[in-house]
Every structure is written in structure tokens, then in C-alpha cells.
Amino acid sequence: MNFRYILSESVSGFRRAKLASAISIFTISISLVLLGIFATLSLNASRVLSEIRSRVEVEFFLSQSLKEKDARRLAASLQNETSVQTAVYISPDSAAQIFKSEFGEDVVAILGTNPLPASIKVRLKSDYATLDSLENFVAEVKTRNGILEARYNKEFLAGLDRNARILFYVTCGIGILISIAAIALISNTIRLIIMNKQEIIRTMLLVGATNGFIRSPFLIEGALQGFLGGIFAIGLLALVNVALYQTYPDLYEAIALPDYRVYGILAVLGLLLGLFGSSLAVRKFLSGN
């Protein structure tokens, strides 16, 4: 295979369809910038959800017959669970102090006794703070000796899980739509270039040129378009970051901007989108001849 010919043909495609190639590269850049911004927003939303999940608590109320040393031992065993972030034993006296700080009333002074039971407050790790996982965890812990009741906000967790699913579907849907638009544009650009060379291609087929030899220049051209689009997208995102930092520094600090690895991913993603789009165009042309 003549690599010099393939490379020269790949570059010549840009000259034959300058406007279409420029529009394709520009659109890929905008598509990747949108993907980068949307990915940043989605990652921040996921980070917020994860932070909220890390604060989900379940409180296990203990039997009065359970001795304090056994209750502390139970809390220590829960602390060693893989899914548990913290497990804290709350004595009846501590529960009364918490009640006073939250409601401003001394329950012991009012009732003459402390009716509040001892409990263990458990905070799960964010990866395990889903409704299904929490319900399974609660069901298992309630089988242990001394556990009377478990209390947690089931409705809040159900809403959190629902919002997490919506975020996932929206993120995937928008990402797919933007990718399809970029692929379609690259494919159309390569198809225009192929149409300009269709007589040459048919002649090459007649003299025995393989599909791989004919396909290679167009694949390289599509990959170059995608890669250049990725490079321009990186530059645009860098400018957006600088502008955000200079204009809204507080917002810049609050948003977890993507690190440099994301820029590399955008360049590779642009190359792959260009390669895939050009592959579709060439395959369609060759299958019809």
C-alpha cells in the first residue's frame, strides 16, 4: 500500500471541499464544546447528588434491655460494615441534649423522666445510599439483637433516586444526539468529496484496487477533520474557563471544572467521531458500486 499516495489524497480532500471541510471542523468543535460543558454540568450535578447521599442517615432505636456496652459493641460492628461511613451510639442522655438543642425544650424537666431511647445513627457511604440498598441494609440490621425500630426518610431517598435516573437518561440522550449530529456532518462532508472523485474511484475498482486502498484516504481525512475539531474545541473550552475565571471567580471556584485529561478525551473523541463518520460515507458508496 502506497502511504505517500494515501496521505496526499487525504490532504487533497481538504482542498477539493474547503468550505465543507471548514464547516465540518467548526461544527465538530462546537459539538465537542457543548459535550464538554454539558459533561461538566452533569459531573457537578452528580457530585452534588453524591454529597447529598453521603449525608443520608438511618437511626436504629435500641431496646432498653440492651446494656450500654452491648450497644456500643453493636455500633462498632456496624462501623465495620463495607457500606457504612459512620455509626454513632446515642445514649438516652445524649438524645435528651439533642432534643433540647433542636426544640429548645428540656424533655426531662417537662416529663420528670427521660423517655428517649438509646439509638445508633448510621450514615452510609454515597455509593450505598440508594433506597434499595438502604432497605436491604435496614432489613439485615433489624434482625440483630436489641434493635427495635429503624427510621429514615424513605420519600426523600425515592425522590433522590428518581432525580439521579433522570439525570443519567438526559445526559446520555443529549450526548448521543450531539454525537450523531457530528457524525452525520462528517459523513456528508466526506460524501461530497467522494462524489467529486467517483469516476476516479470507479476506474480504480475496475483496475483491481482493493476497497481498503480506496477507503484509506477518506478515513484519514475524516479522522483529521475530527481531530482538528477536537483541538479547536479544547482551545474554545480553555477560553471559556479563562473568561469564567476573570468574570465570575466565585462561580469558577464553585464549579468543578474538568481536568486536563478531559481535554485529551475531547481530542480522541473528535478523531473517533471523524473516523466513524467517514467510514459510514465510504461504506455506503462502495456498497452501491
In the chain, % of residues over pLDDT 70: 84
Question: Any alpha helices (H) in 54-153, and if so which ranges?
Answer: 68-79, 92-103, 107-111, 131-141
pLDDT at 89: 92
- Between 154 and 260, where is the model more confident? 154
Structure letter (DSSP) for residue 149: E
Return d(Cα 138, Cα 118) in angstroms, integer: 17
Instruction: Look at residue 125 and tell me whether its pLDDT is greater than 80.
Output: yes
For range 151-158, the mean pLDDT: 87
- Round to whole Å and give the CA distance between 231 and 25: 10
Which range has the worst mean pLDDT, 16-20, 254-258, 283-287? 254-258
The pLDDT of residue 193 is 66
d(CA 277, CA 177): 14
Rounded Cα distance, 107 and 42, in Å:
46
Indicate the class that CATH gives domain 57-152.
alpha beta
> So what's the pLDDT on residue 76?
92
pLDDT band at 220 (very low <50, low <70, confident <90, very high): confident
> For the chain, what is the radius of gyration of the CA atoms?
31
First vs last C-alpha separation in the chain: 22
Q: Where are the alpha helices (DSSP H) in the chain?
A: 3-16, 18-53, 68-79, 92-103, 107-111, 131-141, 154-196, 198-206, 211-247, 249-254, 260-287
3-class secondary-structure state, position 114: coil
The ranges assigned to domains in the chain are: 3-51+161-287, 57-152
